[in-house]
């Protein structure tokens, strides 16, 4: 069953990791796509071709999500190409881990700008076509770390907790216009973001996951399909954990 047939979806951070799998899974479910990377590179062009094989339309763009001017121009270009936008997935994100004692101002600022300000930039820009259509689903990638906190990730946890507050507020602000806004909180997912962690840290995470495995991009993408689809029509302002019941 195709759950997103005919819908137009925007996915940021699509060049690799979870964003790439979200784009592919959305295409499988019939969504036309606007995929965004830092720049239009080979990774984005090959993803475009893979998605198009599912018979959907795919447009590619490059922009730095933390830059208001670039994201506004991106949103304008998407509306020009697709006219309507039904789903926005704010997925792009980074880590710059360090103990607070050693964390630089740059490490703090970069994570807040890329993870949190980007969600403000893109939601602000894409609410316009959604308001016009009187419909929309906004999906923001947060993290279990934004709910529970994590030593060595004060910047990342603050950005992801900020996303939850932003999500709940947007749900209240735009609900009367039939625009839903939810957050997805992945736990330990196998991507480049987690490959870099020391082996003992990885084993400690895995030991504590009741489902006894790391999550996959597909696990997260399927949750996004649900939240983007009409199946979740009465769900807004919520945080959907995709963590294998990881203890918080």
Binding site for ligand NAP (CB under 6 A): 13, 15-19, 37-38, 64-66, 91-94, 114, 141, 143, 186, 188-189, 191-194
CA angle 40, 46, 52 (to 5 degrees): 105
Nearer of residues 136 and 186 to ligand NAP, judged by Cβ = 186
| Min separation Cβ 43 and ligand NAP, Å | 7
Nearer of residues 93 and 136 to ligand NAP, judged by Cβ = 93
Question: Helices 42-52 and 17-28 meet at what angle, rounded to 10?
Answer: 20
Beta bridge partners of 22: none
Separation of alpha carbons 201 and 217, rounded Å: 20
Separation of alpha carbons 210 and 199, rounded Å: 19
Nearer of residues 37 and 228 to ligand NAP, judged by Cβ = 37
| Min separation Cβ 66 and ligand NAP, Å | 5
- Per-residue HEC secondary structure of 180-222 comes to EEEEEEECCECCHHHHCCCHHHHHHHHHCCCCCCCECHHHHHH
Nearer of residues 31 and 65 to ligand NAP, judged by Cβ = 65
Nearer of residues 68 and 94 to ligand NAP, judged by Cβ = 94
Instruction: Catalogue the active-site residues.
Output: 156
Q: By the 8 A CB rule, do 8 and 86 touch?
A: yes
| Min separation Cβ 110 and ligand NAP, Å | 9
| Min separation Cβ 224 and ligand NAP, Å | 10
Instruction: Report the phi/psi class of residue 178: left, alpha or beta, with left for phi > 0 and alpha for psi in -120 to 50.
Output: left
CA angle 136, 141, 144 (to 5 degrees): 135
| Min separation Cβ 170 and ligand NAP, Å | 17
For 107, residues 6+ apart whose C-beta sits below 8 A from its C-beta are 96, 98, 155
């Amino acid at each position: 069953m195709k759950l997103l047939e005919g819908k137009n979806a925007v996915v940021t951070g699509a060049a690799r990791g979870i964003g790439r799998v979200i784009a592919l899974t959305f295409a499988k479910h019939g969504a036309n796509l606007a995929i965004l990377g830092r720049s239009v590179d080979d990774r984005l062009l090959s993803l475009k071709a893979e998605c198009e094989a599912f018979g959907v339309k795919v447009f590619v763009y490059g922009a730095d999500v933390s830059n208001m001017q670039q994201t506004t121009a991106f949103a304008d270009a998407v509306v020009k190409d697709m006219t309507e936008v039904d789903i926005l997935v704010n997925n792009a994100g980074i880590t710059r881990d360090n103990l607070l004692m050693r964390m630089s101002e740059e490490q703090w600022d970069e994570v807040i700008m890329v993870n949190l300000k980007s969600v403000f930039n893109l939601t602000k820009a894409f609410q316009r076509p959604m308001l016009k259509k009187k419909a929309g689903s906004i999906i923001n990638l947060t993290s279990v770390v934004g709910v529970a906190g994590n030593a060595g990730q004060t910047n990342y946890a603050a950005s992801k907790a900020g996303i939850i507050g932003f999500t709940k507020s947007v749900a209240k602000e735009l609900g009367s216009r039939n625009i839903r806004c939810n957050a997805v909180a992945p736990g330990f997912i196998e991507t480049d973001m987690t490959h870099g962690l020391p082996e003992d840290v990885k084993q400690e995470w895995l030991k504590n996951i009741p489902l006894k495995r790391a999550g996959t991009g597909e696990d997260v993408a399927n949750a996004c399909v649900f939240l983007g689809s009409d199946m979740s029509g009465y769900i807004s302002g919520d945080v959907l954990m995709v963590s294998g019941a990881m203890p918080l």
